[in-house]
A and B are shown apart, each in its own frame.
Chain A
Amino acid sequence: MVFSSAEGSAARNFFYTAVIWMAIGMSFGLFAAFLLMFPDMVKAIPVLEYFTFGRVRPIHTNLVMFGWLSGAYFATLFYMVPRLAGTKLWSERLGNAAVVFHNLLMTAYTLALLFGMNMGREYAEQPWINKIATVLLFVLVFVNVLMTLANRKEKELYVTAWYMLGAVVTTPVVYIVGNQFLFPTNPISGVNDAVANWFYGHNVLGYWFTPVGIGAVYYLLPKMTGNPVWSHRLSMIGFWVIFFVYGPTGAHHLVNGPVPYWLQTVAIAFSVTLIVPVWTVLTNFYGTMNGKWGVMKESVPLKFTVSAMVFYFITCFQGPMQALRSVSAITHFTNWVVGHAHLALLGTFSFIMFATIYYALPRLINREIWSAKLMEWHFWLSLIGFTLFFVSLTIGGLVQGSHWAMNQSNAFIQSVIAMEPYHVVRAIGGTMILSAQFLFIFNIFKTATAGQAMATTKVATAPAGA
């Protein structure tokens, strides 16, 4: 057979390729940040006409969301679900086929956008055929996950499995509905299209990136601290609440816009309610960490997890706040929102994936991480770079919004000029983040090729499914 059936190979290969797409996606992001500082950079250089801001920016968002984070999430599902189910992955071959398909699809994503094939819908820019291929990719991965759970030896499901199962069931629905039911010509148009677009745009975060990320934290924390999760029942409350309240929140992206007023109000109310699941996660986080805070000094994956929890809280504090009409009137369309999106996808979920990779990869390939020092550098550069990045975007967004609120037509060009220092700080932060990721990839490469065999742990364990 073409594809390997070795245990753990699909998860490992997804991790390897995901970090490559992360580097490519983030490089496009940094390039876009430089374009904001030097808008004429690509002018008069023929080959660079493909790299205008309008093309580079969606490549960045598509690759970090679907190439990097989704790739790492597929790996996480393949790693954690079998362990929670007390069985092996249903089909490693199918998993490896999904890895190859994912990489081909991400190449198609990049080329389509480089050549200007853009459907003009946020996070749904891909042409029709790529969207169908994306659904096919989801099917390849999710069937494997569902079959693994169906064949489980564990009767009871741990909260991580609940979150992951929830994501696997809801994500295809969100993707298909939000992408106009995959029709080649958009059957929904105008304002209704905006509503459908944001149903998808926001819920892909709520039903895909959030549950798998939070599920991973619930898996990692007990393994790294040695404390069982503080309250499983509380975690289940969080699970049910998040899946109930996330659905109608998408329209908060359209507050003060020409969509029905009641829809905006429902979106605002449900956005505020999101504080509840965050509360459950943070209560469990603090409860589980109790008496084990010292571990943070020695464990880079735990440092990433703790930072991710801080950013998760802030994302979910900032989100409901900016959904309010008066706040949205100032922050909408500004860099504040860009900062918020990065807070969720980079500060929270990418940080969780860094922790997951540092934890899971050594176990998959039976090698220790090559350099502990590089891990530390990766963490601190990412943390400092990201803090600079989102603080500059947040303050810049408020300055931008204030200019617009005072007098849109007169103050617009002033707002562009006022953004210059913030764009510089953003690019510096972005450079630090990208540098950190190159160190990370180098460390992963050296781990795979020259890492020492993993030392056996002294902690007593029982076989899977015991």
Chain B
Amino acid sequence: MKKIKLFTQCSLITLLSIVLTPSTASATHMSGGENDLMAAYGGAALLLGFAGLLGMLGLVPRGWQTFGLRWGRWFLAGGLLVLVVGGYHVTTLGTVEETLGDEAFGRLATQQIVGTLAVFVSFWGAVYYLAKRAGILNMGESVKYQVMRNGDPPDRTASRKDRPGEQRLMWVPFAAMGGLALFFTAGVLIALYRLPPGARP
């Protein structure tokens, strides 16, 4: 309980500090003009947040569990921080130079980010509260064993034991995913960089 309080306080202080110290940036319109840098921030935030969540829930390989349980919440908080600071940075980058009469933009953009976060956190808070009350979170893992017994019996392939070396087959889908992901990324990059600078989006 003490740690949760500390975590909540830290998050609130971070949010407040952002609200109270807005940038001087301004814009001619409220659309912002965000660029794809947000994807990098979003990606980093996702990685940190999700790794943190897995760590907190103990869903990491055995050797990493102590580390995960200890540092998971900080990873999660770090992810949130990267999202907020990144969003703020991108918003200020996308705005034009300060224009008279638009000084309030920085504060407005901050409020938008904080507003979005408030909606996000309240939604998830409500979901978490209801789920906890309904007992869903306490279900644990027993249901997955029950499913093995219920309904129709497992396929006859289920009792087949792997022969030596067959575990290596796991690399086939892994290689396919990696290969295709590289194929798409390379294709897009080639298409973008083959264009003359004037035609590049």
Contacts and interface: CB of A to CB of B under 8 A. Distances in A.
Nearest to B116: A266
Contacts of B35: 325
Nearest to A324: B36
B141 A291 contact: no
Given A310-B180, A321-B184, A273 B42 contact: yes
B145 to A, nearest CB: 6
B93 to A, nearest CB: 14
A459 B201 contact: no
B177 A310 contact: yes
Contacts of B145: 228
Contacts of B154: 222-224, 226, 457, 459, 461
A326 B184 contact: no
A298 interface: yes
A325 B54 CA distance: 31
Contacts of A272: 39, 42-43, 46
Contact of A244 (B123, B150, B200): B123
B73 to A, nearest CB: 16
Interface string A273-312: 1011001000100100111111111110110001101100
A15 to B, nearest CB: 15
A462 B150 contact: yes
B159 A226 contact: yes
Nearest to B180: A314
Main secondary structure, interface of A, reads helix
A233 B173 contact: no
A331 B191 CA distance: 10
Contacts of A223: 148, 152, 154-155, 158
B158 A237 contact: no
B14 interface: no
Q: Determine which residue in B144, B151, B177 has the highest number of CB atoms from chain A within 10 A of its CB, and name it.
A: B151
Interface string B159-190: 11111001111101100110011011101101
Given A269-B38, A296-B169, A276 B180 contact: no
A336 to B, nearest CB: 9
B59 A233 contact: yes
A457 B153 contact: yes
Given A222-B147, A236-B136, A294-B162, A231 B141 contact: yes
B12 interface: no
B21 interface: no
A157 interface: yes
Contacts of A156: 139, 142-143, 146
B46 A324 contact: no
Interface stretch (A127-135, A200-208, A395-403, A417-425): A395-403
B84 to A, nearest CB: 13
Interface in B34-48: 34-36, 38-39, 42-43, 46
Contact of A363 (B57, B136, B152, B191): B152
Given A298-B160, A314-B177, A321-B185, A402 B151 contact: no
A314 B181 CA distance: 7
Contacts of B153: 457, 459, 461
B82 to A, nearest CB: 13
Interface residues on A, range: 35 or more
B32 A326 contact: no
Nearest to B196: A406
B96 interface: no
A252 B153 CA distance: 43
B5 interface: no
Contact of A234 (B57, B127, B162, B180): B57
Given A83-B152, A294-B166, A406-B196, A262 B31 contact: yes
Main secondary structure, interface of B, reads helix
A154 interface: yes
Contacts of B199: 405-407
Nearest to B139: A156
A261 B31 contact: yes
Contacts of A234: 54, 57, 59
B2 interface: no
Contacts of B192: 326-327, 330
B157 A224 contact: yes
A464 interface: yes
B34 to A, nearest CB: 5
Contacts of A154: 143, 146, 150
Nearest to B184: A318
Nearest to A330: B191
Interface string B106-131: 00000000000000000110010000
Contact of B155 (A84, A405, A457): A457
Interface in A208-247: 219, 222-226, 228-229, 231-234, 236-237, 240, 244
A156 B166 CA distance: 35
B150 A459 contact: no
A268 interface: yes
Interface in A365-404: 391, 394-395, 398-399, 401-402
Contacts of A298: 157, 160
Nearest to A320: B39
A50 interface: no
A158 B146 contact: yes
Contacts of A324: 36, 39
B59 A279 contact: no
10 contacts: A232-B143, A233-B141, A234-B54, A244-B123, A261-B33, A262-B30, A272-B46, A331-B188, A406-B199, A457-B154
**Closest 7 CB pairs between A and B?**
A83-B151, A226-B158, A329-B201, A294-B166, A261-B31, A293-B169, A461-B153
Given A234-B59, A290-B170, 4 more contacts: A86-B150, A302-B157, A326-B201, A457-B156
